[in-house]
C-alpha cells in the first residue's frame, strides 16, 4: 500500500457559515483524489464540533485552542455576517483560531492561511445578529497581515477557490520548500496515470450523456402527450352540450397538470444529478490543468509523449460528448421558475466546463509540441 504524506486542515467559522462546511469537506474529497494520485499526499480536516477532544478550562474556546495549536498545516476561515462569540482575548473564537494560524506561520512559514468572505445576500433571520462593522474590521486586519482574502457568493465559487488554494498548499508542503515562487516538479511517474485521471472524467461525461438521452426521451413523451391532449380539446370543442364540454375540459386540464408535474419531477431529478457531476468535473479539470504545468517540467521519459497523445484524444472525445449533451439540455422547457433557475445554473456550469476543456486541449497541444522538439 502506498505511503501518503498526511496533512491537516483547520476549518474555522462562526455559526452563520456552518452551511458551507459540507462544501469544504466535499472539496477535500475531490482534492484528495487528485493529490493522492499526483502528489502522494492527502488532507484531513479538523472541526471543533466533530474531532476536537473535549476538556475543561476557563472557557470553551480555550479547550479548542489548546487542542488545535500546532496540530494543523492549513487554515480555512469562512466569514459572512458576523465574527461569532467573543472570547477572553479575541473578538471571537474563529478570530482566535485565525490568530493561532498566524502565530504558527510566523514560526514555520509553512502554514497555508486562507480567509474567505461570503458576499451573498444576508437572510432576514441573520440580520438580528449581523455585525458588518466587525466584518469590515477583519477584512482590514487580514489585509494588514499580508493575507490575500477572497470573496464568494455560492458554494460552487467557494469550491473553485479552494481547489486552487489547497493544491498550491499541498505542492509547497509535499516538496518541503519555503520558496513559494520556485517551481518544484515531482519525480518521474507513470504518465498513464494522467490518462486514467482524465478517462475517469470522461466516464462521468458519458454518464451525463446517458442521463441527457433519457431526459430527451421523457421530453418527447411529454410532447406526444401534449399533442394528444390538444386533439382531445379539439374534439371536445365540437360537442353541442356546454355542461358536458365544461366537465370534459376540466378532466383534460387535470391530466395536463399531472403530466407537467411528472415532467418537472424528472427534470429536477436530472438536474440534481447533473449539476454536482458538472461541478466536480470542472474542479478536477482545473486541477488537471495544474498537472499539465508540472508535466512540462518533467524530462521526456519513455512513453510520455505517446501518453500525452492518448490524453488529448480522450479530451477531444470528452469535449464532443459534453457539447452534445449541452445542446440537448438547451431544448428542454422550463415550466416553473424553480426549473428555469436550476436550468440556468446548470448551463452556466456547462459553459465553464466547456471553456476548461477547450483550454485543456490547447494546453495538451502545446505540451506535445514541446516534447516533439526534444
- Chain mean pLDDT for the chain: 80
Q: For residue 24, report the phi and psi dihedrals to the nearest 5 degrees.
A: -65, -45
Cα separation, 166 vs 186, in Å, equals: 17
**Other CB atoms within 10 Å distance of the CB of residue 38:** 23
Say which residue the cell 428555469 belongs to: 340
At 118 the three-state DSSP class reads: strand
- For 356, residues 6+ apart whose C-beta sits below 8 A from its C-beta are 282, 285, 286, 289
Average pLDDT on 259-270 reads: 83
Whether residue 196 has pLDDT greater than 80 = no
Cα separation, 263 vs 332, in Å, equals: 10
pLDDT category, 372, cuts 50, 70, 90?
A: low
pTM attached to this predicted model:
0.69
Q: Which of 222, 216, 210, 212 is nearest to 261 (CA)?
A: 222
Whether residue 190 has pLDDT greater than 70 = no
* 26-49: pLDDT as tens digits: 888 888 887 887 777 889 999 988
Domains and CATH numbers, the chain: 5-174 (3.40.50.2300), 192-373 (1.20.1050)
Grid cell at residue 296? 512540462
- For 126, residues 6+ apart whose C-beta sits below 8 A from its C-beta are 16, 80, 81, 82
Q: Is 40 left (phi over 0), alpha (psi -120 to 50) or beta?
A: left
Whether residue 179 has pLDDT greater than 50 = no
More confident residue, 210 or 329: 210
At 298 the three-state DSSP class reads: coil
Whether residue 152 has pLDDT greater than 60 = yes
What percent of the chain lies above the pLDDT cut of 90? 19
Q: Is 70 left (phi over 0), alpha (psi -120 to 50) or beta?
A: left
More confident residue, 202 or 77: 77
Helix or strand run (H / E) with residue 62? helix 60-68
pLDDT category, 109, cuts 50, 70, 90?
A: confident
**Other CB atoms within 10 Å distance of the CB of residue 295:** 23
Query: What's residue 371's pLDDT?
Result: 65
More confident residue, 135 or 51: 135
Q: Which of 124, 28, 36, 34 is nearest to 76 (CA)?
A: 28
Query: What's residue 133's pLDDT?
Result: 94
- For 364, residues 6+ apart whose C-beta sits below 8 A from its C-beta are 292, 308, 311, 312, 315
* 247-256: pLDDT as tens digits: 888 888 888 8
Amino acid at each position: 500500500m502506498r505511503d501518503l504524506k498526511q496533512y491537516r486542515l483547520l476549518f474555522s467559522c462562526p455559526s452563520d457559515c456552518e452551511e458551507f462546511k459540507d462544501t469544504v469537506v466535499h472539496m477535500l474529497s475531490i482534492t484528495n483524489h487528485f493529490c493522492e494520485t499526483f502528489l502522494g499526499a492527502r488532507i484531513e480536516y479538523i472541526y471543533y464540533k466533530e474531532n476536537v477532544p473535549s476538556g475543561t478550562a476557563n472557557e470553551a474556546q480555550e479547550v479548542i485552542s489548546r487542542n488545535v495549536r500546532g496540530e494543523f498545516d492549513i487554515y480555512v476561515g469562512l466569514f459572512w455576517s458576523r465574527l461569532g462569540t467573543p472570547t477572553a482575548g479575541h473578538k471571537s473564537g474563529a478570530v482566535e483560531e485565525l490568530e493561532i494560524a498566524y502565530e504558527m506561520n510566523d514560526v514555520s512559514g509553512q502554514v497555508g492561511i486562507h480567509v474567505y468572505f461570503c458576499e451573498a445576500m444576508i437572510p432576514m433571520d441573520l440580520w438580528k445578529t449581523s455585525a458588518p462593522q466587525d466584518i469590515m474590521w477583519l477584512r482590514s486586519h487580514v489585509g494588514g497581515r499580508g493575507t490575500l482574502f477572497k470573496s464568494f457568493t455560492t458554494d460552487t465559487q467557494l469550491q473553485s477557490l479552494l481547489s486552487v488554494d489547497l493544491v498550491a498548499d499541498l505542492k509547497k508542503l509535499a516538496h518541503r520548500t519555503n520558496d513559494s515562487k520556485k517551481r518544484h516538479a515531482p519525480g518521474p511517474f507513470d504518465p498513464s496515470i494522467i490518462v486514467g485521471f482524465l478517462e475517469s472524467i470522461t466516464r462521468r461525461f458519458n454518464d451525463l450523456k446517458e442521463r441527457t438521452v433519457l431526459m430527451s426521451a421523457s421530453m418527447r413523451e411529454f410532447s406526444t402527450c401534449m399533442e394528444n391532449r390538444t386533439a382531445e380539446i379539439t374534439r371536445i370543442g365540437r360537442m353541442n352540450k356546454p355542461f358536458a364540454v365544461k366537465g370534459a375540459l376540466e378532466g383534460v386540464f387535470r391530466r395536463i397538470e399531472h403530466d407537467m408535474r411528472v415532467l418537472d419531477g424528472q427534470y429536477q431529478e436530472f438536474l440534481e444529478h447533473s449539476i454536482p457531476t458538472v461541478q466536480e468535473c470542472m474542479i478536477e479539470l482545473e486541477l488537471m490543468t495544474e498537472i499539465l504545468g508540472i508535466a512540462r517540467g518533467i524530462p521526456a521519459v519513455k512513453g510520455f509523449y505517446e501518453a500525452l497523445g492518448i490524453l488529448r484524444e480522450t479530451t477531444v472525445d470528452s469535449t464532443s460528448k459534453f457539447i452534445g449533451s449541452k445542446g440537448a439540455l438547451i431544448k428542454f422547457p422550463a415550466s416553473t421558475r424553480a426549473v428555469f433557475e436550476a436550468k440556468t445554473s446548470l448551463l452556466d456550469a456547462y459553459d465553464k466546463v466547456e471553456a476548461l476543456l477547450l483550454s485543456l486541449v490547447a494546453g495538451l497541444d502545446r505540451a506535445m509540441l514541446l516534447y516533439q522538439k526534444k
